[in-house]
């Protein structure tokens, strides 16, 4: 299909068929929006559309996106809208497109890596994991982890997505025992379970799809941070755009807590056979705990001296730990790789906080003692420049 095929009659015919497929009534404003989106795609122009809830705007941008000759990424802010697109609007549109066009375009949903169960974490775990290697349920937490592990194995057998939204009900801490962050991931080239990996399979599906549905946070990481998360695309449609700056800010927010530093120290201890660097990092976690407990909750306009000292200590000991972990020679060692990832993450966050940049805001967030106590958070004050230069530019 060429660009000239995006004429209004084609858009209108597919839109009419899609609206009929969901049992709705086509609206004049909906048709106008669909034609405007089609024109923007042809002319490679920006387009800003304001439309209220229930006006049919999803189909109005989905139809011309489907008829576009290159991949289009659709980013939403909320899971509710993502579910609506994936479970109702897109299936109806594909049925209509097949009726009108005679073919069935592909679409895919792509989420951040921590939203998918990690088979390596589940099957091999890590020596310090509390739950990942549980063989017999111990209390409700152990039972929750065991249920998630069984569900993930079932997903591999049924070719399921293995993502958090399809998992049995569970708390955050149970999910953390069956998933990893992008930093902790071994990567497809090194992981022994790469062929079964849910995250890799989702990315492969996205590479073969005409439409890719994702979220604002993943879009921000891909476009602004320069980390390739989404396959190459020609156009991006940001739905719920009024939420974009908040979601981008959220994705650029870092957290640092004593339990996080302690976890990095435990991982490092398993990877470093000699030296005291892991012990030093654990001592730094204690210093951070005392400094955070002494700091008032809320925004820190000035960094207290004891907190500045604690952050510098965490930064320096995390760097020493990272340097003490031997490099892999030959086959990847998951214990070393994950220890390096965690210690490096702790170092980077502590360094960002200790720098006390005028472009960031630093604050103490209150948390229950059962969740590790208060923690530090840092976020950019303004994300308009990176949005303008790297996403909209």
Are the beta carbons of 298 and 363 closer than 8 angstroms? yes
- Helix/strand/coil for 253: coil
**pLDDT tens per residue across span 98-122:** 777 777 788 999 998 999 999 999 9
Euclidean distance between CA atoms 374 and 377, whole angstroms = 10
What band does 257 get if pLDDT is binned at 50, 70 and 90? very high
pLDDT of residue 329: 65
Pick the residue with more confidence: 130 or 146?
A: 146
Neighbours of 220 (CB within 10 A): 26
Tens digit of each residue's pLDDT (9 = 90 or more) over 17-45:
888 888 888 888 999 999 999 999 999 99
- Domains along the chain with CATH numbers: 3-106+209-251 (3.40.50), 114-188 (no CATH), 254-381 (1.10.275)
Question: Where is 207: in which H helix or E strand?
Answer: helix 198-207
Q: Would you state the pLDDT for residue 331?
A: 63
Q: What is the pLDDT of residue 126?
A: 60
Q: Which residues have CB under 8 Å from 141's CB, separation 6+?
A: 131, 173, 174
Confidence tier at 391 by pLDDT (50, 70, 90):
confident
Q: Give, in order, the Cα–Cα distances in Å from 108 to each of 101, 175, 230, 291.
A: 20, 23, 11, 46
Q: What is the pLDDT of residues 335-387, one digit of tens each?
A: 888 888 899 999 999 999 999 899 999 999 998 776 778 999 999 999 988 88
The pTM of this model reads 0.82
Residue 2 predicted with pLDDT over 50: no
Q: Which of 257, 254, 321, 315 is nearest to 288 (CA)?
A: 257
The SS3 assignment for 215 reads strand
- pLDDT at residue 42 in the model: 93
Q: Label residue 96 exposed, middle or buried (CB < 10 Å: 0-12, 13-18, 19+).
A: buried
Q: How far apart are CA 307 and CA 296, in angstroms?
A: 11
The region of weakest confidence among 61-65, 158-162, 187-191 is 187-191
Q: How confident is the model at residue 275 (pLDDT cuts 50, 70, 90)?
A: low
pLDDT the model gives residue 214: 95
Tell me what pLDDT residue 17 has: 86
């Amino acid at each position: 299909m060429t660009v000239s095929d995006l004429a209004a009659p084609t858009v209108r015919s597919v839109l009419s068929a899609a609206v009929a497929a969901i049992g709705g009534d086509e609206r004049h404003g909906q048709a106008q929006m669909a034609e405007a989106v089609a024109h923007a795609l042809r002319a490679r122009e920006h387009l800003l559309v304001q439309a209220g809830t229930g006006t049919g705007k999803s189909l109005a941008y989905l139809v011309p996106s489907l008829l576009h000759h290159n991949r289009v990424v659709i980013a939403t802010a909320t899971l509710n809208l993502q579910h609506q697109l994936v479970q109702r609007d897109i299936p109806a549109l594909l049925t209509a497109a097949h009726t009108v066009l005679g073919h069935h375009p592909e679409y895919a949903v792509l989420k951040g890596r921590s939203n998918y169960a990690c088979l390596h974490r589940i099957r091999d775990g890590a020596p310090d994991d509390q739950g990942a290697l549980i063989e017999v349920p111990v209390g409700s937490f152990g039972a929750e982890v065991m249920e998630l592990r069984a569900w993930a194995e079932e997903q591999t057998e049924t070719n399921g997505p293995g993502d958090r939204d399809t998992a049995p009900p569970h708390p955050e801490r149970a999910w953390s025992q069956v998933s990893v962050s992008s930093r902790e991931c071994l990567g497809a080239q090194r992981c022994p379970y790469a062929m079964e990996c849910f995250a890799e399979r989702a990315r492969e599906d996205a590479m073969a799809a005409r439409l890719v549905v994702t979220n604002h946070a993943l879009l921000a990481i891909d476009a602004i941070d320069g980390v390739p998360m989404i396959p190459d695309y020609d156009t991006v449609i940001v739905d719920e755009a009024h939420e974009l700056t908040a979601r981008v800010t959220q994705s650029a927010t870092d957290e640092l807590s004593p339990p996080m530093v302690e976890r990095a120290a435990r991982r490092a201890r398993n990877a470093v056979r000699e030296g005291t660097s892991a012990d030093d990092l654990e001592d730094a976690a204690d210093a951070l705990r005392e400094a955070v407990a002494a700091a008032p909750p809320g925004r820190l306009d000035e960094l207290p001296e004891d907190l500045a000292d604690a952050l510098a200590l965490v930064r320096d000991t995390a760097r020493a730990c990272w340097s003490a972990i031997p490099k892999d020679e030959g086959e990847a060692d998951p214990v070393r790789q994950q220890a390096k990832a965690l210690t490096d993450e702790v170092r980077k966050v502590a360094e960002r906080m200790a720098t006390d940049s005028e472009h960031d805001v630093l604050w103490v967030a209150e948390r229950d003692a059962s969740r590790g106590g208060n923690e530090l958070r840092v976020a950019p004050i303004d994300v308009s420049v990176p949005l303008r230069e790297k996403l909209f530019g």
